Amino acid sequence: MNTVEIKQNASLQDLNSLALPAYAEYFCSVSGISQIQQALAFAREKGLQVTPLGGGSNMVIAGDIQGLVLHLDLKGMSSKPVANDQIEVTFAAGENWHEMVQLCLQKGWYGLENLALIPGNMGAAPIQNIGAYGVELCDLFVSLQAIEISTGELMVLDNKQCQFGYRDSVFKQAYKDRFLITHVCLRLSTQPTAQVQYPALAEALGDKAVTPELVSETVCRIRQQKLPDPADLPNAGSFFKNPLVPESGLDRLQSNGVQSPRYAQLDGTYKIPAAWLIDQCGFRGQRRGNVGVHEHQALVLVNYGGTGNQLLALATEIQDAVFAKFGIALEIEPRLYGV
């Protein structure tokens, strides 16, 4: 059994895609279940709160994190055919999401193409039910294996138990901070399939003969054009969720004399692009010291070398301006730490 190494006062700056300067009181990287159990025993003995860390691409680490930051670095993948044209693939939590999307494509396992190039690791994908270009994780999700932090017990949760919603799951609600996800099982198709209804994707594909490979390439190309690469310009992707407003909430938008883009949802609400709201308030390309709003994508806040507090001050300024102009409250999408 490999013994875990637990560090004190470990820098997290290289481990979060916003490159925010912050420290973990204790830090430990684990590559297997027994190491997780050791780390949890250490945390229990010292009475430490445990914070799971994957690729750090959906966290705003605004200050130091007290307790134990546990970097889940479990690797591996296994598969089993479940029907003539379907296969269930189980991925360890530390596998990089995009690398797994590409690997599945190479193996002829289809369904993940629209989710290509989303940063981060497998283990975090269920937390906010990642989604892009008309596909969400929950469309392919079978089950996950998790360890309960307080007891160290292993358990399996199926699709229904995860209570997936728009950028949401039970892990952001009733089970918040209770589990470490160690493995994720997805059901993929061994027959080529393609989901191309999403308008921007359909437009980019035009009348080309659609293959899963082409969908993946096209999604990557659109994303590279639209979103800054965190390696070049630190960011956490979409900083705010797209707000869902009831029909009555549209009136205030219209009273501003501008017809907002809107997308009708099955529950009768409308999804308004947060980027459009922020753009209307004049924030795109704005800079406040060493943080700012990306020049091409108003939904992406970028870090030019600032701190978490500076970034959050800008986020608050944006939320206040959008609320004052449209009466819509923007919700921050990444999880805040160290505040």
Ligand X SMILES: Cc1cc2nc3c(=O)[nH]c(=O)nc-3n(C[C@H](O)[C@H](O)[C@H](O)COP(=O)(O)OP(=O)(O)OC[C@H]3O[C@@H](n4cnc5c(N)ncnc54)[C@H](O)[C@@H]3O)c2cc1C
Please list the active-site residues.
167, 238, 333
Stretch that binds ligand X, among 186-194, 231-239, 286-294, 312-320 (CB under 6 A): 231-239
- Assess 65 for contact with ligand X (CB under 6 A): no
- Which of 240, 326 has the CB closer to ligand X? 240
Near ligand X by CB under 6 A: residue from 20, 24, 62, 181: 181
| Contact between 236 and ligand X per CB under 6 A | yes
CA-CA distance, 264 to 246, in Å (whole number)?
10
Buried b (16+ CB within 10 A) or exposed e, 187-217: bbbeeeebbbebeebeebbeeeebebebbbe
Instruction: Report the residue from 124, 201, 222, 322 that binds ligand X according to the rule CB under 6 A.
Output: 124
Locate 85 and state its tokens. 């044209």
Question: Which residue among 12, 90, 91, 119 contacts ligand X (CB under 6 A)?
Answer: 119
Q: Does 306 bind ligand X (CB under 6 A)?
A: no
338 binds ligand X, rule: CB under 6 A: no
Does 215 bind ligand X (CB under 6 A)? Our answer is no
Per-residue contact flags (x/-) with ligand X for residues 132 to 171, judged by CB under 6 A:
x---------------------------------------
Does position 299 interact with ligand X (CB under 6 A)? The reply is: no
Residue pair 274/245 in contact (Cβ under 8 Å)? The answer is no
Q: Rule CB under 6 A: is residue 54 a binding residue for ligand X?
A: yes
Residue 128 interacts with ligand X (CB under 6 A)?
yes
Under rule CB under 6 A, residue 17 binds ligand X: yes
Based on the shown chain and the rule CB under 6 A, indicate whether residue 230 belongs to the binding site for ligand X: yes
**Interaction between residue 201 and ligand X (CB under 6 A):** no
Query: Site mask, ligand X, residues 237-276, x = CB under 6 A?
Result: x---------------------------------------
Min separation Cβ 71 and ligand X, Å: 8
Contacting positions for ligand X (CB under 6 A)? 17, 51-59, 72, 93, 118-121, 123-125, 127-128, 130-132, 179-181, 227, 230, 235-237, 335
